[in-house]
Structure 1
Amino acid sequence: MMFIGTSREKFFYHNTLLCLVKSLQGQNITVDLRNDSYVCGHLTSVDGYMNLSMTKAVYCDSQENEFYFDNLFVQARNIRYVHIPETVSILGNIKNEFKKGNDKDPNKEDKPVKSRKAKKALQQHMKIVASLEK
């Protein structure tokens, strides 16, 4: 499944750690917010600006009050930190997320060739990821 969004969202996806957060979809995570509160819940979707949609969420404010929500939307500008579960392999998830985008669907027609700049940026990112493994 290739990332779908505007060109700006695609840029953020390929040039930030948004791809890592997107790979956490379907898992329970904790997100620290800028107002010293946090949210725990099941991550259902992430858009190209890192806005998060969560289900079965618990919002805990700075006075330690808990509020339960069936669905909760967190704007990216309010996020301070996303906790990555200890069971998640960070490099493995990043690689798998990019592999999802590279898999070709036989039912879809061929897409136009990426620009040289985009190809070069992707190659540079893959070299960095490979060097981190060593």
Structure 2
Amino acid sequence: MQKFSSQEKYLIANTLNCWPVMLQGHSVLMDLRNETSVAGVVDIADGHMTCELSNAVLIDRNGGQHPFDNFMVRNRMIRQIHIPTDIDVAQELRQAMEHGVLRRKRVDGRNTKRTFKQKRAEMRHKETLEMIAQQRSEKEQNQSNIQ
């Protein structure tokens, strides 16, 4: 398991920086700020969203494709990460909330009291999960009304 600094743990728990970490091992497409895109498998991602991709293909502005064995994307260059359709967003966030960096462990392995920041982060994650569930149910209702 990857070791994160306290700042990275905070960013992963409280921002969308958790997505590259959760997408490790998955094939993704990233749109970059210089109007190019890169597709590949996320090997390593840190709490600052710096990602290392393997078997990557860089797609330039003109549509030309350039293959790379390894490709590193700095956090400031990422404009958008396309999450694969086979990943259940709600389930991934729920797992990150339950097993992720929000849980503090003592040296002997037992849980300790959570800090205010951890409680607030967990509350925000729960709100996000509720919003996703609500949007999903509205989408299903709209599809059933159309049929």
- Aligned match of 2:18: 19
Q: Show the 5 A alignment for 1:37-52.
A: 37-52=36-51
Normalising by structure 2, we get a TM-score of: 0.76
3-state SS, counterpart of residue 124 of structure 2:
helix
Q: Show the 5 A alignment for 1:109-128.
A: 109-110=108-109, 113-128=112-127
Displacement of 1:35 after TM fit?
Answer: 0.5
Distance in structure 2 (CA, Å) of the matches to 1:74 and 1:123: 29
Q: Give the conservation status (yes or no) of the 8 Å contact 1:20–1:93.
A: no
Flag the structure with larger Rg: 2
3-state SS, counterpart of residue 109 of structure 1:
coil
Displacement of 1:111 after TM fit?
Answer: 6.4
Q: Give the conservation status (yes or no) of the 8 Å contact 2:90–2:129.
A: no
Q: Give the conservation status (yes or no) of the 8 Å contact 1:32–1:79.
A: yes
Unaligned runs of 5+ in 2: 135-147
Distance 1:76 1:114, change over 3 A: farther
- Aligned match of 2:143: none
Moved more, 23-32 or 60-69: 60-69
Q: Quote the sequence identity (%).
A: 29
2:130 partner amino acid: S
Q: Give the conservation status (yes or no) of the 8 Å contact 2:94–2:129.
A: no
Q: Give the conservation status (yes or no) of the 8 Å contact 1:20–1:90.
A: no
Displacement of 1:130 after TM fit?
Answer: 4.5
Moved more, 79-88 or 123-132: 123-132
Deviations 1:64-88 (A, max 9, x none): 2221111111001000000011121
Q: Show the 5 A alignment for 1:1-134.
A: 4-101=3-100, 109-110=108-109, 113-132=112-131, 133-134=133-134
2:39 partner amino acid: C
Distance in structure 2 (CA, Å) of the matches to 1:114 and 1:46: 28
Normalising by structure 1, we get a TM-score of: 0.82
Unaligned runs of 5+ in 1: none
Distance in structure 2 (CA, Å) of the matches to 1:47 and 1:123: 20
